[in-house]
Structure 1
Amino acid sequence: MKKKDIIELKIQDLEFPLKGVGYYENKKIFVKNAIPGQVVRILIKKVRKDHAEGKLLEVIERASTEVESFCEHFGNCGGCSYQTIPYEKQMKMKADLVKGLLDEAGIMGYEFLGIEPSPEVFAYRNKMEYSFGNEKKGGELNLGMHKKGKFRDVVTVDHCKIVDEDFNMILATMLNYFRGKDVPLYNNKTHEGYLRHFIVRKAKKTKEIVINLVTSTQITFDMTELVEIMKNLNLTGKLVGFIHTFNDNIADTVVNEHTKVLWGQDFFTEEILGLKFKISAFSFFQTNSLGAEKLYSMVLDFMGDADNKNVFDLYCGTGTIGQIVAKKAKTVMGIELIEEAVEAANKNAQMNGLKNCHFIAGDVLKKIDELTTKPDIIILDPPRVGVHPKALKKVLAYRAPEIIYVSCNPRSLAENLIDVQKAGYKVKTVKCMDMFPHTPHVEAVVQLIKK
C-alpha cells in the first residue's frame, strides 16, 4: 500500500471525532466521515509505519444500522455527517467515544452518567455562518456551506434541517438578490472581490433576529434596497438588526475590522433559565439555546449547595454560566480574554440584577495571579484546545475544593484531566450533553473533588 492507492475497506470501529477505523495489510486505516459497518472505497492520503489515512470516495455498502438521510443537501454539504444514524445510536456513539478517551487516558474511579439528548433534534441552531462562493470555478453564485471534502467550493443550503425556516428564507432572499446584481464574489486565492460571508442569528425564546453581511472594502455598494427587502420578509421571528461587517483579512474567516449598523441594532436578546442575555454580533453564545439550558443545569447540579461559596468562572465568555450560578453562590468572578465579551457580561449581570458577580478582561494565565479571593469552586469552560498547561498549573495551585470542567472537546479534556489527577483531584462524575445532533460534536461536564 502506498500513497494515492485506491482500496476498498470494511469499517470496523470508530475514533473521536468521526474517524472510521479499518484494517488493510496489517495496518490501521483512518477514514474521516466513515462509520462502523460500512464498506468504503478510499484514496490513501498518508502512509505511516503503523497506520495510514484515507479519503472517503464512495460508500459501497451501507451499515445495517443506517437510515435514509433527512436532508436534500446530504453528501454535498459538509455538515451533519451523522444524519444516516438513528438519533439514539448517535448519542450512544458519542457517549462511548467520550468514555473511551477518558479511560484510555487513565482517568479512573469516576461515575459516568451517560448522555443527555438535545431538547430539539431539528431546527436547534441559533446561529449560522454562511459563505459566498460557487460549486465550480466560474459557476453560479452560491451562498451556504463548504462542499464536503472541498475547502474552496460552496453549496447553497436553503433547505437545511438544523435551522428553522426563517434562516432558509433569509438565505434564499440574500442569494437571489445578489444573483441579480453585478457584484463580484471575493476570491480567496487572488484576494479580490466583494462578497465574503453572511451570518444569521436568531434567539430561540425571544425570536429576535440579527443578520450580518460580511464583505471586503474593495467596492462601494448601496445597501438601501437590500435592507428594505429584508425588513419586509414574512418571518416567524422578528428582524431587529441588519449590520454590515468589513473584512479585508486574507484568511477565509470572519474578521471584524469594522462594522456598520445598516438598520436597527447590532445585538439580539436571548433568555436562558430565567435570565436575559444581550448577545452582540460577534459574542460567543452556545448555538443550541435549549440545549444550553440543560448543559448549565448540569453545572448547577454538580455545584450542589453553594450559598456560602466563592466561584471563579474562567474562560467565561459573555458570562452566561457565571450569571446562572450566581443565583446560588456567594460571589462569582469571571475572566475572559475578549474585552467585548466581558463588557457584555457585566452589562448583562446588571440587567439581570445580579450584584454578586463581576467579570474582568485578560488572559487567564496572567489575570488569575491578580485575584485575591480564595475560590471554593472553579468553573472551567475553555475553548476547543483546552486549558493551556501553564494556566492549568496556576488553576490547580489554588487547591479549590471543587472544580467543574465544561468541555467541547473530549480529547483536550482527557489531556487536561491527566494533569488534574496528578495534582490530587479525583474525577468524581462525568456527564455528556448532546448540543449538536447529527454531528460528531459533543459537550461533557466533569465534577472534580480535591482529595
Structure 2
Amino acid sequence: MPRNFPILTLNIEDLDDRGYGIAQHGNKIVQVLNALPGETVEAQIFRRKKGGLQGVAKSVLQASNLRVAPREDHFLCCSPWQILDFEAENQIKVSSIKKFYQEAQVDLPDFDIISLPDQTWNYRNKAEFSFYSDDTEQLNLAFFGRDSRSKYPHTGCVLMAEPINIVGRRFLDFLNDRKIQARQLKSIILRYCYAQNKVVACLFFKDESLEFNLEELSSLLDEILQGISIIYSTHKSPAPVVTEIRHQLGCMELTESIYDVNLTYNWDNFFQINPPVFELAAKDMIEQIKGTPDFSNLPVVEMYAGIGTLGLLVAPLVPKVLAVEVTPGSQEKAIRNAEQNRVGNFEFIESLAEESVEAIASNQILILDPPRVGLHNKVIEKIIAESPKHIIYLSCNPKTQAANYAALQEKYKIRWMRAYNFYPHTPHVESLVILDKK
C-alpha cells in the first residue's frame, strides 16, 4: 500500500450493495472490505474517492455475532460475504431490496427470499481465472483483488463447481510442465454444465509466438473436460477478447436442463450461473403466468433474451413468443433450442432491445431480464406508451429494477414479488416482480 494511505479505527454502521461495510470518518464516507455492521475495525485505506475512502479491515477489534470464518484466503476477491452467517445474509438481501424500493418511493408487498441452504458452495457454473507467477516462476491460478490490480494466487475457489477447480488445476499442471509464464497468458474461462457434468475450457494467451502441441492438448480431454479452445488475444487489450482461435478440440457446446427444457449454449453465451436456484425462479414465473386469467390468449415478448431461455420455458403456455437479443451467436442457439425442444411458436430478433421497441404492444405479456444497468429509457418509454397487460421482470440488480418500476408505477401495480439468492456469499441478489396493468 502507498505510505500516505493511513490505517483508521472505524465503527461500521451498515453494508452497501457492493458488500463493503460503511463507516464515517470526519466528513468522509469510508467503504471497508472484511467488515460487518456493529464491528470496530482497524482498516488500511487503499483508495481515495470523491467524498470518501476505501479500505480493508486488517484487524477486527470488536466482532459482530454474525461473523463466521471464511473458507479461503482469497475470499475478498470472489465472495466478500464468506464472513457473514448465511441466514443473516438472506435477511440483509431482503432488507437491501426494500431499501432500494423505498429510495425509489415505491411501496412493496410482503415478499420472501428463496435459497438452497445445502447448496451455498460450489454452485457457480462459470469461472474466469487469471495467472500469477511467483518468485520461482511457478505458475498459479489467480484472482485480481478489489483493492488494486494485485493478483492473489489460489488453487481453486469454493464458489465454483468442483469440476471447474479440477480442470483449472489440470491446466495449471499442463502449463507448468511446459514452463509457460504468466506474462505470456491472460486468463482461462471454464464453463460447467450440471445436467451433463461436463466442462469446456478457453485458454487466452497474449504472447503471439506461443505454440501448443495438439497431441498434448488432446491428452487433457476426458470424461469431464469435453472441449478446449486455445485463443490468441491481443496484448493491446487487457480483456480476454478473441483475436484468433488457434486450436479447438472436442465439443465447445454445453446443454443444460431447466424445468425439462434442454438449452444448448456456447462458452461465450450468457447463461445463469446457478441453475438450481434459477430453476426455482423459472417455476415461480410459470406458476404466475398460469395464475393470470387471460394468459392463454396473450403472446409473449422477451426482451434481453440471451439464448431465449425464459421465452422457451413459457412457450407451451402461450400462443406465440418473440425473443429479442443482440449478443452474437444467441440467435442461432435460441432457434436451435426451439427446434430441439419442439417449440413451434418461437421467433427471434437479433437486435438491441431499444432498437426493437416496436415489438412491445398492449395485448401481450412482456418478459424483461436486463443486465445490471436495467432497462433502456426507450424501452421504458415504449412500455408506458403501449402498456402491455402484464410484465414479468427478473433482475440481477434490484436497485435499477426499483428505479425502473418507479417510472412505470402510474400504470402498473406489483401483483407478486420474490427474491432469490442466486449468488451465496456475495452481495448480489436476484429479484422477480410480476406487474399488472392498472
In structure 1, the partner of 2:315 is 326
Q: Secondary structure at the match of 1:330?
A: coil
TM-score by length of 2: 0.91
Deviation at 1:217, TM superposition (A): 5.7
Structure 2 partner of 1:196: 186
Q: Is the 8 A contact 2:296 2:318 kept in 1?
A: yes
Q: Which residue of 2 aligns with 1:11?
A: 12
Determine which of 223, 228, 236 is the counterpart of 1:242: 228
Is the 8 Å Cα contact of residues 196 and 256 (structure 2) preserved in structure 1?
Answer: yes
How far off is 1:359 after superposition? 1.2
8 Å CA contact retained: 1:118, 1:437: no
**Larger CA deviation: 110-119 vs 28-37:** 28-37
Is this contact kept in 2: 1:208–1:269, CA < 8 A?
no
Contact 1:80/1:439 (<8 A) preserved: yes
Aligned partner of 2:182 in structure 1 is 185
- Cα deviation for residue 32 of structure 1 reads 4.1
Structure 1 residues 216 and 270: alpha-carbon distance in aligned structure 2, compared to 1, 3 A threshold: same
CA distance in 2, matches of 1:399, 1:337: 24
Question: Aligned residues: percent identity?
Answer: 26
Deviation at 1:372, TM superposition (A): 8.0
Shift of 1:261: 5.1
Query: Which of residues 379, 385, 399 is equivalent to 1:391?
Result: 379
SS in 1 for 2:319: strand
Partner SS, residue 99 of structure 2:
helix
Q: Cα distance 1:450–1:82, how it changes in 2: closer, same or farther (>3 A)?
A: same
Choose from 204, 211, 216 the match for 2:201.
211
The corresponding residue for 1:227 is: 217
Counterpart Cα distance in 2 of 1:118 and 1:375: 36
Q: Which region of structure 1 is more displaced relative to structure 2, 436-445 or 115-124?
A: 115-124
- Contact 1:33–1:56 (8 Å) recurs in 2: yes
Q: Which residue of 2 aligns with 1:127?
A: 126
Q: Partners in 2 of 1:309 and 1:147 — Cα distance?
A: 48
User: Could you tell me how far 1:144 is from its partner in structure 2?
Assistant: 3.0
| Residues 69-98 of structure 1, C-alpha deviations (whole Å, 9 max, x = no match) | 2x23345x5112111212111111111111
Quickly say closer, same or farther: Cα 1:104–1:287, change in 2 above 3 A.
same
Which of residues 270, 276, 284 is equivalent to 2:262? Answer: 276
Separation (CA, whole Å) in 1 of partners of 2:221 and 2:272: 26
Letter in 2 for 1:183: I
Tell me the CA shift for residue 28 of structure 1: 4.2
**Is 1:38–2:39 an aligned residue pair?**
yes
Could you report, residue by residue, the CA deviation over 1:132-159 in whole angstroms, capped at 9, with x for unpaired residues? 23468x854221322352324241233x
| Equivalent in 324, 327, 338 of residue 327 of structure 2 | 338
Which residue pairs with 1:118 in the alignment? 116
SS in 1 for 2:311: helix
Distance 1:396 1:135 in 2: 57
Distance 1:73 1:157, change over 3 A: farther
Q: Which amino acid aligns with 2:398?
A: P
CA RMSD of aligned residues (A): 2.3
- 1:323-368 Cα shifts (integer Å, max 9, x gaps): 0011212211110011311211111111110011111101111122
Inter-partner Cα distance in structure 1 for 2:216 and 2:202: 12
**Are the structure 2 counterparts of residues 85 and 180 from structure 1 closer, same or farther at C-alpha, using a change threshold of 3 Å?**
same
Unpaired segments ≥5 residues, structure 2? none
- State the one-letter code of the partner of 1:200: L
1:252 Cα offset (Å): 2.6
Task: Verify the 8 A CA contact 1:216 1:248 in the aligned structure 2.
Answer: yes
Query: Secondary structure at 1:313's aligned position in 2?
Result: strand
Q: TM-score, normalised by structure 1?
A: 0.88
Conserved? CA contact 1:396–1:420, under 8 Å: yes
Matched, 1:64 2:50: no
Work out the CA distance in 2 between the residues paired with 1:162 and 1:414: 28
Q: How many residues align?
A: 429
| Preserved contact between residue 205 and residue 232 of structure 2 (Cα < 8 Å) | yes
**Relative to structure 1, is the Cα distance of residues 165 and 29 closer, same or farther in structure 2, using a 3 angstrom cutoff?**
closer
Q: Which residue of 2 aligns with 1:85?
A: 84
1:447 aligned partner, one-letter code: I
Give the 3-state SS of the residue equivalent to 1:339 in structure 2. Answer: coil
Provide the residue aligned with 1:106 in structure 2: 105
Q: Which residue of 2 aligns with 1:189?
A: none
Identify which range, 348-357 or 171-180, moves more after superposition: 171-180
Look up the match of 2:141: 143
| Deviation string, structure 1 residues 398-446 (Cα, Å, up to 9, x no partner) | 2101111111012211221221124x22233321100011111110111
Deviation at 1:222, TM superposition (A): 2.2
Report the secondary structure of 1:78's partner residue.
helix
Q: Is the 8 A contact 2:255 2:263 kept in 1?
A: yes
Q: In structure 2, do the counterparts of structure 1 residues 358 and 135 end up closer, same or farther at CA, with 3 Å as the change threshold? A: farther
- Over 3 Å counting, the alpha-carbon distance change for 1:157 and 1:183 in structure 2 is closer
Distance in 1 of aligned mates of 2:197 and 2:310 = 22
CA distance in 2, matches of 1:197, 1:144: 9
Q: AA paired with 2:38? A: G
CA contact (8 A) 1:241 1:261 kept: no
**Which of 401, 405, 412 matches 1:413?**
401
Of 300, 308, 325, 2:286 maps to 300
CA distance in 1, matches of 2:54, 2:388: 45
C-alpha distance in 2, partners of 1:25/1:240? 56
**Contact 1:339/1:362 (CA < 8 Å) preserved in 2?**
no
SS at match of 1:276: strand
Q: In structure 2, what is the Cα distance between the partners aligned to 1:417 and 1:131?
A: 38
Give the match's secondary structure for 1:436. Answer: coil
